Amino acid sequence: MTSSGLTLVGTSHHHAPVEVRERVALDGDAAASLAAELAVEGYEAVCLSTCNRTELYLVGAEAEARAERALADLAGGEIGSVLYRLHDEAAALHAFRVAAGLDSMVPGEGEILGQVRAAYEAGVPGPVLDRLFRQALYAGKKVRAETAISESPTSVASAAAALAQQVFGNLEGRAVVVIGAGETGELTARNLAKRGGRIVAVANRGEERSAALARRFGASAVGLDALERVLPQADVVISSTSAPDYVLDADQVRAALGRRKGLPLLLIDIAVPRDLDPGIHALDSCYLYDIDDLEAVVQASLAGRREEAARAESIVGLEAERFGAWQASLDVVPAIAELRERAEAIRAGELARAEGALGRMSETERRVVESVTAGIVNKLLHLPTVRLKEAAAGADGVAYADAVRHLFGLDEPEDARS
């Protein structure tokens, strides 16, 4: 492997159970320290560690063995069987898939892109890893911009919020009434509040529990008997009590609708048994979704994500090819630079030998000679340079570079060439 070789060693939720992953998981500081520890003797190192994966990206000789040792140390024992080892373009493709969210548990999830950026910023990248991670971030953004992979919700709570946006658009200032003080209801309310929704009341049988939840949202706590009073001001109702019967029936909602002047009302029932009378859905401008409806929305959304993932794969595939071509060009760059240095040295040497004749020339004539000789050298080297770069993009880059070194004696000492 050349010094520019990229190595990735890691494990993820696809390969290792949580008992193994938790042993190699690192927080941000520890990941930065490990990268710094590995980045000695000219190594480049970036450590990406999330709840689903720990991956070491290294550039340098014997990088694979070094990364495996580091992960075994973290795990407190041998974990070779759950590690994947990828090199060069395959490693780049993996990095791009990770950044695009294609390797995530939920395809297209958005958090991973920030985690990749954080790992890159905390790592010790050199030319190769710098290019790799910048391109990974670009690929991640491109996939999200050009496909709809990250547009849809992946949980009941976020599906409820997305539905509210389908009805009201911007949720800024929209009034939300929460019935019940359970965890799922709170989570759903939080999702709405995060998007601008205003929790105005928490209604529950147990005053104490609803008061605590209401305080957290800056809302008022009311009993279930006060529901009819708060209902007219609600745009969204979330219900998740453990009541055995309906806590809100169609007549109560119909009475509230009169004062809403035709504004729509979205009701989310995440309780089992259901809290809200299904007859409410038949009322004009009322949209009632129960837990099964929300699950169906989530499933359809995940199916949509998987469909979009196929398009995203082609985007990251192209990016990986671009990275491979760039990386291959690194193999011939030193040969090209040395060839040009050698040619320039010959040109300068020949001009020095002709110093006697040149000395009799005017400054203008001298500049013309300089320019002509430099032009000849550039023209002679142009085509070999282009061909070398082209060959580098294929599999022959190293062979061509070696041939150039041999033909022009670039590895030989100065006196042996002449």
Partner 1 sequence: MAELLFWPALLAYGEAAVAYAGNIRHPGSLGRAATWGVRIGWLVQTWLLVAQAARADGFPWSTWAGSLNLFVWLLVTGYLVWGCRPSYRVLGLVLMPLAAGLLAVSYVAGGVSSDTGGNFSTAFLALHVGLVLAAFAGFTLSAGLAGVYLWQERRLKRRTAGILRPQAPALVALDELSAKTIVVALPALTVGIAIGLGRLFERGGGIDALMAATLLTWCAYAALLVVRYGLGWRGRRVAFLLLAGFALVVTVHLALPASHFA
Active site residues per annotation: 51
Minimum distance from residue 157 beta carbon to partner 1 (Å): 14
How many chain residues bind partner 1 (CB under 8 A)? 32
Minimum distance from residue 301 beta carbon to partner 1 (Å): 6
Minimum distance from residue 307 beta carbon to partner 1 (Å): 8
Q: Tell me if 296 contacts partner 1 by CB under 8 A.
A: yes
Q: Kindly tell me which of 116 and 171 has the beta carbon lying closer to partner 1.
A: 171
Minimum distance from residue 309 beta carbon to partner 1 (Å): 13
How many whole angstroms separate alpha carbon 392 and alpha carbon 389? 5
Task: Give, in degrees to the nearest 5, the angle at Cα 345 between 343 and 347.
Answer: 70
Q: Kindly tell me which of 300 and 348 has the beta carbon lying closer to partner 1.
A: 300
Q: Kindly tell me which of 206 and 278 has the beta carbon lying closer to partner 1.
A: 278
Q: Kindly tell me which of 229 and 311 has the beta carbon lying closer to partner 1.
A: 311
Minimum distance from residue 265 beta carbon to partner 1 (Å): 11
Q: Tell me if 301 contacts partner 1 by CB under 8 A.
A: yes
Q: Kindly tell me which of 3 and 166 has the beta carbon lying closer to partner 1.
A: 166
Q: Tell me if 236 contacts partner 1 by CB under 8 A.
A: no
Amino acid at site 282 = A
164-183: contacts with partner 1 (CB under 8 A)? 165-170
Residue with tokens 């946006």: 165
Distances (CA, A) of 12 to 59, 291, 362: 21, 31, 72
Minimum distance from residue 146 beta carbon to partner 1 (Å): 5
Residue length, the chain? 418
Backbone angles phi, psi at 267, to 5 degrees: -120, 125
Q: Tell me if 259 contacts partner 1 by CB under 8 A.
A: no
Q: Tell me if 285 contacts partner 1 by CB under 8 A.
A: yes
Torsion of CA 324, 326, 330, 335, to 10 degrees: 120
Q: Kindly tell me which of 14 and 259 has the beta carbon lying closer to partner 1.
A: 259
Q: Kindly tell me which of 167 and 381 has the beta carbon lying closer to partner 1.
A: 167
Q: Kindly tell me which of 96 and 168 has the beta carbon lying closer to partner 1.
A: 168
Q: Which stretch binds partner 1 (CB under 8 A): 17-25, 58-66, 106-114, 161-169?
A: 161-169
Q: Tell me if 188 contacts partner 1 by CB under 8 A.
A: no
**Of positions 3, 299, 371, 378, contacts partner 1 by CB under 8 A:** 299
Cα-only R_g, the chain = 33
Minimum distance from residue 168 beta carbon to partner 1 (Å): 5
**Of positions 120, 287, 323, 326, contacts partner 1 by CB under 8 A:** 287
Strand order in the sheet with 236-239: 220-222, 198-203, 175-179, 236-239, 265-269, 286-290
303-362: contacts with partner 1 (CB under 8 A)? 304, 308, 311
How many whole angstroms separate alpha carbon 418 and alpha carbon 246? 98
Q: Tell me if 284 contacts partner 1 by CB under 8 A.
A: yes
Q: Which stretch binds partner 1 (CB under 8 A): 60-68, 284-292, 317-325, 395-403?
A: 284-292
**Of positions 262, 356, 359, 413, contacts partner 1 by CB under 8 A:** 262
Minimum distance from residue 285 beta carbon to partner 1 (Å): 5
114-153: contacts with partner 1 (CB under 8 A)? 146-148, 151-153
The number of beta carbons lying within 10 Å of the beta carbon of residue 258 is 9
Contact 317, 309 (CB under 8 A): no
Name the residues that contact partner 1, by CB under 8 A. Answer: 146-148, 151-153, 162-163, 165-170, 261-264, 281, 284-285, 287, 289, 293, 296-297, 299-301, 304, 308, 311
